[in-house]
Amino acid sequence: MFHTIWIGCDHGGYEAKEQIREYLQRQGYEVKDVGTDSSEIVRYPYYAAMVARAVATKAADGGILICSTGIGMSMVANKFKGVRASLCTSHYMAMMTRRHNNSNVLCLGGKTQGIFELLDILEAWLTNEYEAAAMTFHLA
């Protein structure tokens, strides 16, 4: 389960980030907001790297990244060893990425869905656990 969650966004995800941060805090999560702090244009890789680095170094249990589509954030975050960033556009995707992929960073599109759908996706991601924790396998 997640306790400490770092959240970051670019200008395209700012409005959604503010609402998601408030939701997480109301639910009792420890949230570190790394920005951005407005809808003025910024470069998303800077924020993606801060959150991904925190997850990779275990400063955070999980991360949430939001840009206009979530695509760029997921591409940057997945470059960090130990980060399993998943772009989710539905409740089912969020549930399955936790259960089957042990996702530790959720990427969302602040311009592709409304806040109610984003919160539903977030809730599915937060409340599901990795099902294959006892299984071990080796990649060739």
Residue 19 has pLDDT above 70, yes or no: yes
pLDDT digits (tens, 9 = 90+) for 40-99: 999 999 999 999 999 999 999 999 999 999 999 999 999 999 999 999 999 999 999 999
The one catalytic residue in 3, 9, 67, 88 is 67
Query: For this structure, is 67 an active site residue?
Result: yes
| Cα–Cα distance, 61 to 24 (Å, whole number) | 14
The one catalytic residue in 3, 91, 100, 138 is 100
pLDDT digits (tens, 9 = 90+) for 96-128: 999 999 999 999 999 999 999 999 999 999 999
* Tokens at 18, concatenated: 């503010």
Residue 29 has pLDDT above 80, yes or no: yes
DSSP secondary structure string for all residues of the chain? --SEEEEEE-GGGHHHHHHHHHHHHHTT-EEEE----SSS---HHHHHHHHHHHHHTTSSSEEEEEESSSHHHHHHHTTSTT--EEE--SHHHHHHHHHHH---EEEEETTTS-HHHHHHHHHHHHH---TTTT------
| Cα–Cα distance, 94 to 66 (Å, whole number) | 14
- Write down all domains in the chain, each with its CATH number in brackets: 4-127 (3.40.1400.10)
What pLDDT is attached to residue 139? 66
What pLDDT is attached to residue 134? 54
What pLDDT is attached to residue 140? 62
Residue 15 has pLDDT above 80, yes or no: yes
* Tokens at 63, concatenated: 């991360």
Residue 21 has pLDDT above 60, yes or no: yes
- For the entire predicted model, the pTM comes to 0.93
What pLDDT is attached to residue 1? 84
Query: For this structure, is 100 an active site residue?
Result: yes
